Amino acid sequence: MTSFQRKRIFYQGGFFILFIFAPIFDLLRFDLIAGHLIVFGQPWTLGLDDYLAGKIDNAQMSLNILLRVIVPALLVAATVLGVAWRWGRLYCGWLCPHFSVVETINQLVRKASGKQSIWDKKPGPAWHPDGTPAPTDRRYWLLSLPFALAFAFLWAVALLTYLLPPAEVYGNLFNGTLTRNQGLFIGVGTAALFAEFTLARHLFCRYACAVGMFQSLAWMSNRRAMVVGYQRERARDCASCPSFCDHVCPMRLKPRTIKRLMFACTQCGQCIDACHSVQRNNPNGSLLTWIDGQKALQADGSQGLLASESAAQKSRAIPL
């Protein structure tokens, strides 16, 4: 594993822990019983009770809505979309607790079947990009399915703690005294998440996740954004490689293509690391690299040429 991937796993693990423990320590949750947000241990209210009691007027209530709802929402959206506009779906590939589960189960399924998804048409190569064997063992199914179920249960419980006091939820869970609604929420949530983790992990990320979709739209709007660049003129160097870059992609994308076909790329960099391992003895290095700015603009679906350069070449080709 490269230092790049170790760093990414460190960030993913840290954010996953934060996702689980944030409601426990009242860092962020919405308390349905109290009827308001709790942020860093403090109630985040609009002052609706004071407004109904006549303690604040319309102007103050409007100001509360502006400062406590609209402005924070815009700041969060601007930050996430601003990062995505320049660097792509970094939240997905580096922080998202769902994507970390996707990658974990992918690896277990690959060890069990040679494929990262049951929807893959054929198994990947029988060795890793570094040349070491990558054997399959069906006994890993005994780990992949329980892992998917355990993650689904953990997610369902964690989501419930964002809505109800965590001490009550965990207390009732450990004592076996969950209320009907609590048990129903955890049961239905676990079943739905288990089905998604088992059958549609990357499909959910690609087509159903609103957070990922808006990041992709912001990224696609910036033709100079960071993207995986492929050196097409060296395609011959790929002849001896069984498309490792395709097989390692957790989103099941094909990195050696134009940006428009990499719409759901999470910038995990696994394809680049795989290519680097395969081409480790090639003096020209990897065929896949990170590019941005002018290089990204040149590689954006125009066969490596700027639109202005293409137009100039066409004008020179037309006899006067």
pLDDT (tens place) for every residue of the chain, 320 residues total: 788 999 999 999 999 999 999 999 999 999 998 888 999 999 998 888 888 888 888 999 999 999 999 999 999 999 999 999 999 999 999 999 999 999 999 999 999 999 988 888 888 888 888 888 888 999 999 999 999 999 999 999 999 999 999 999 999 999 999 999 999 999 999 999 999 999 988 899 999 999 999 999 999 999 999 999 999 888 899 888 899 999 999 999 999 988 888 999 999 999 999 999 999 999 998 999 999 998 888 876 543 433 344 444 444 443 33
Is 255 within a domain? yes
Contact 2, 273 (CB under 8 A): yes
Q: Is 89 helix (H, G, I), strand (E, B) or coil?
A: coil
Is 35 within a domain? no
The amino acid at residue 20 is: I
How far is Cα 160 from Cα 233, in angstroms, rounded to an integer?
53
Is 2 within a domain? no
Is 147 within a domain? no
| Predicted TM-score (pTM) of this structure | 0.86
What pLDDT, on a 0 to 100 scale, did the predictor assign at position 27? 95
Question: Taking CA 245 as the corner, what is the angle to CA 239 and CA 246, rounded to the nearest 5 degrees?
Answer: 100
What pLDDT, on a 0 to 100 scale, did the predictor assign at position 56? 87
How far is Cα 217 from Cα 312, in angstroms, rounded to an integer?
30
Which of 260, 242, 263 lies closest to 252, judged by CA? Answer: 263
What pLDDT, on a 0 to 100 scale, did the predictor assign at position 140? 92
Is 311 within a domain? yes
Largest Cα–Cα distance of the chain, in whole Å? 87
Domain range for 266 is 213-317
Dihedral sign (CA 238, 240, 246, 250): negative
How far is Cα 260 from Cα 257, in angstroms, rounded to an integer?
8
Q: Which two tokens stand for residue 127?
A: 């060795």
Is 283 within a domain? yes
How far is Cα 187 from Cα 206, in angstroms, rounded to an integer?
26
Q: Report the domain count for the chain.
A: 1
Is 51 within a domain? no
Is 226 within a domain? yes
